[in-house]
Amino acid sequence: MKKLVLGAVIAGFILSTSQVHAEDPIASKLSTSEAEEYVGIWQINLNVMDFEIELFLTFSDVEGQLGATLDTKQSPEPLAISNIDKIDERLDLNSELNFAGAITLDVNINVGLEDGKLVGSLADKGGLIKTEFEATRIEAEELDSVQGKRPDPTETRMNIEGKRVRIQFARLEMDTTDRDLFEGMKAGDVQRFTLSRATKLYTDFDLDFDGTVVKTANYADDYPGVYSLWLKKTESGWSLVFNSWPDIWGTSYDAEFDVAEVPLTLGKVEGESLEKFVMKLDPTDGGGDLTMAWGMQQWSTSFKLGNSL
């Protein structure tokens, strides 16, 4: 059974994408001067159960602190790694990888330098994957040449000092039953879609929408807030509903689990109509902006960051 699960994970990693979006390196607590020899782009080739995986691990300087990203040519954008430590002259990195939008693994990457090569291991904390590797340094032009056309993002994130707010969403398309359902919405209806799971929010911070607070730890102490998000049409415009039942299909909304509702500002998309639904988080001073868009319509709201885990 373990081999079957592992095979499905690796196949998902190759054939789909890891759900990451638009992340630059984050400054870790480790000074770049303590690991200057690691700075650059490293190509990692893994063979797990006869599956070939090509990863690109990039170390860079972020205002004097070491930052790192993990990338593949299938990923929409690099994944920022914020937890980097130096232990016995080796670097120890811990991060989260999502495979095919379905399986999330907490992974550890431990690396050292030997004869100009990066030598290390990658393992998930649940014991599903454990493999060793050698990596070679490459130039940025070489990375650009293999990445090709990236797929559309299905996740948006904000990173603040190693903590995150992130949203997983479906790339709903025009000329589908989902668009028909959207166009048929009346006041009081929430957006439902038949081809995907519900939009899902994870937050390490309390989010304050002008006095309406969405809290962390709604399921357990010391655990991120986890909610499904629903676009709602109202008598006066639109709102965003936060629901404490996160892991459901896009048709399974139940108002009994609603915990908050915040008004949205309706605007118009600049340029051409968007054929696919998209969401985006942008950091601001002490908070963030959340924007959703589809067709020529754009919805937005802002929040402040409250207590964190």
Q: At 40, which amino acid appears? A: G
Alpha-carbon gap, residue 42 to 31, rounded angstroms: 19
122-136: buried (b, 16+ CB within 10 Å) or exposed (e) per residue?
A: bbbeeebbeeebebe
- List, for residues 193-231, the tens digit of each pLDDT value: 888 889 999 999 999 999 999 999 998 888 889 999 999
- List, for residues 115-167, the tens digit of each pLDDT value: 989 999 988 887 878 889 999 999 888 777 665 556 667 888 888 877 889 99
Domains of the chain plus CATH, in order, are 2-147 (2.40.128), 155-308 (no CATH)
Neighbours of 88 (CB within 10 A): 6
Neighbours of 186 (CB within 10 A): 7
Number of C-alpha atoms within 13 angstroms, CB side, residue 226? 11
- List, for residues 51-94, the tens digit of each pLDDT value: 777 889 999 998 899 999 888 776 666 777 878 999 989 999 98
pLDDT, position 45: 87
Q: Is the pTM of this model over 0.95?
A: no
Partnered with residue 56 across adjacent β-strands are: 43, 71
